[in-house]
Structure 1
């Protein structure tokens, strides 16, 4: 059980488990059906775990932490298999595996986005520079060719993974920091959530808003995620609620979901789209019926402080969470009972957690500057803690094949670790000049995208750590979130400059945006599963939905909250 706020949650690929990251510096894996902790708490990070995610096969978990490191954990044993991955100079806010599991992208407070070789932890490209403030969220496109990033500079960028150039953006519509960004399943759209309280959907190619801003939340939107079919978007907010929106019209189709007694930091759909998992500062993880908004699993009471990061296991049965209570917990996604954990090992908040592609391991990143890989079932640290980062690990992610972990850190670097040995196989990637807040692998695992507080996005060669694209310049403030489009050809980024940008992952040219519309700081941006839309959420209580091809704002949602981490 976590002893601090849960900052990030995510389902495993099969939906059977849930991973969570917390301010307690730990990562936990839970049985999605029973709610019991099956692995954890995973200890290794020395500070908050901001972001967690499962690897494509569900065997590993990647985590990003305030300790500037990224860790890859064995989702089954809870042992660190790679990390801590060092490279960022400030907190790692967001991490993600590429669809093929070969790369990890991280976004950091150092304004940069980095791409790491998931197997050796080395930076594959120089940091992507373009954001002028903290990068809050990053994500790979489905084809691993692009990365989207969201930043406190109010913008979203889409980067070409190979060239690190902005192919779309900076997208400027948000009026405050972009906290969360994600590609749609088909890679055509990007969704972003912002401190301006709105959610936006963007055309990943043109950068035009296709839907939004969605208004409904009354406070910052912290996390956004597309449903598996790309037709709906879920958002979590500082107003303690969650909403499910029609991605095209911006109409609230379910919610607001009430139940949490604190900010909702992270939300994610289960692989089958029937359930939604949420992590909150009230230290709990909840499982909801996506259609009715009813709690289908009792509040996961494993954490004792804010939940910083959550993620589903590949089969969707488990959810792992990382919390400020320094622990990692694994929950049954259906019942909400702890199936593993709390995993203890980190000495500070756990900022980011994620399952490995096979769902057997969990990776966590912590403010203790380390990354840990845990056995998801036993909570045993199978690799780590990975030492190397000199600052908080803000974002971590497994490579698509689960062999490597990428981490983004406050030390301004990105590292790629061998998920099994914990050795740095690539990195540190040192080109970012400020915190790396978000990192993610490209879908094919060959590249890593990173977003940073240095206002840039970079695409790295996951194998040799060379910058293959970038730095992408366009944002005027911190990049908080980045993500690849489903086909990997574009990258979306969100920044505190209140804009979202879509970049050509190869050339780095802005192909969409900057999308402007939010009035507050950026929290997150994401592509829709089909890649046609971009959703952005900001601290201005709005969620904007953009049409990537036309670049037009499709919908503007208003609700209320702040989303720290999102998982698609």
Structure 2
């Protein structure tokens, strides 16, 4: 499958038997991973997508595209509903609610939208950002939505589309990645200003900004137990932090390109990272390589992920 140029990947959440790939040409691909030694491409959706995600039960795919629509697909590539229209500009980020009954999307004109699965708006359009909305996500209990924007803004919203807190002020420049802690009590963010920031749900900094990266931060993730945060940046390093902003290990180094994505293993004992130099690397929590670099892509890797059982990347 050398023609693949994956920009984002995700395993089906239930059993990891299907791999979702956002290809470099923006098409959506599905691979049957029942035999990991011989993956089989089962579907190609020739749609210009910027962001894709599985539903929590693994039976649907949501995508946001350059045509300004959000689309819901079955696993055989058929539309599961009419296109969700309303953004009118490219959609950069999409996510399912934890119970799979809602979808949130963020677009290039600063609007966040919440949808029912039939494409009906579940709330009024959410306005507040200036510039593109680059990252959106639901809280673990599904009662809040966080969004990060092009000009440093972070907002927390109710499902009715109302602000749930004052804007989170602190970042300078784009916020590329946001994530809720597993227990839903914190929001973490990373962006162009080289800082990781931890927030309460009231938008109050929960610690001083985490400083150490020497360039923009592209990806962040909470450990499964919520006690550590991992970040990857354009400086080519992966960093592991405690919740008070201290480094939990020396920077993980060994790349010639920016780190575009990081993820914890389900048991929290490993970190995987993907890079602009085309390599995937696996690390222990002390920053030691847990395996030789995974090479073969030869080009930018925007996204990496563990399978649900932690045995595949």
Instruction: Tell me the TM-score normalised to structure 1 length.
Output: 0.52
1:149 and 1:128 map into 2 onto residues whose CA distance is 13
Aligned residues of 1:303 and 1:327 also touching (Cα < 8 A): yes
Partner residue in 2 for 1:363: 272
1:122 and 1:283 map into 2 onto residues whose CA distance is 40
Superposed displacement of residue 181, structure 1: 0.8
Partner residue in 2 for 1:293: 203
Partner residue in 2 for 1:354: 263
Residue pairs, 1:67-466, within 5 angstroms: 88-89=4-5, 92=7, 94-100=8-14, 102=16, 103-116=18-31, 117=33, 120=36, 123-131=39-47, 133=48, 135-161=49-75, 163-204=76-117, 206-247=118-159, 249-290=160-201, 292-332=202-242, 334-375=243-284, 377-405=285-313
Change (3 A) 1:258 1:119: farther
Aligned residues of 2:68 and 2:85 also touching (Cα < 8 A): yes
1:338 and 1:289 map into 2 onto residues whose CA distance is 20
Q: Deviations over 1:287-337 (max 9, x none)?
A: 1001x21111221112111111111111222221111111111222x3122
Q: Secondary structure at the match of 1:111?
A: coil
Give the unaligned 5+ runs of structure 2. none
Superposed displacement of residue 279, structure 1: 0.8
2:303 and 2:11 map into 1 onto residues whose CA distance is 10
Count of residue pairs the alignment pairs up: 311
Superposed displacement of residue 119, structure 1: 8.2
Superposed displacement of residue 251, structure 1: 0.7
Aligned residues of 2:189 and 2:196 also touching (Cα < 8 A): yes
Q: Deviations over 1:182-201 (max 9, x none)?
A: 11010011111111211111
Q: Secondary structure at the match of 1:351?
A: strand
1:148 and 1:122 map into 2 onto residues whose CA distance is 26
1:228 and 1:329 map into 2 onto residues whose CA distance is 24
Ranked by relative contact order (alpha carbons within 8 Å, sequence separation 6 or more), the top structure is 1
Q: Secondary structure at the match of 1:255?
A: coil
Q: Deviations over 1:161-182 (max 9, x none)?
A: 2x13221343222122111111
Superposed displacement of residue 113, structure 1: 2.3
1:121 and 1:224 map into 2 onto residues whose CA distance is 34
Q: Secondary structure at the match of 1:233?
A: strand
2:34 and 2:212 map into 1 onto residues whose CA distance is 29
Q: Deviations over 1:516-558 (max 9, x none)?
A: xxxxxxxxxxxxxxxxxxxxxxxxxxxxxxxxxxxxxxxxxxx
Q: Secondary structure at the match of 1:157?
A: strand
Aligned residues of 1:100 and 1:399 also touching (Cα < 8 A): no
Runs of 4+ in 1 over 4 A off after TM superposition: 121-124
Aligned residues of 2:134 and 2:175 also touching (Cα < 8 A): yes
2:37 and 2:246 map into 1 onto residues whose CA distance is 33
1:122 and 1:353 map into 2 onto residues whose CA distance is 25
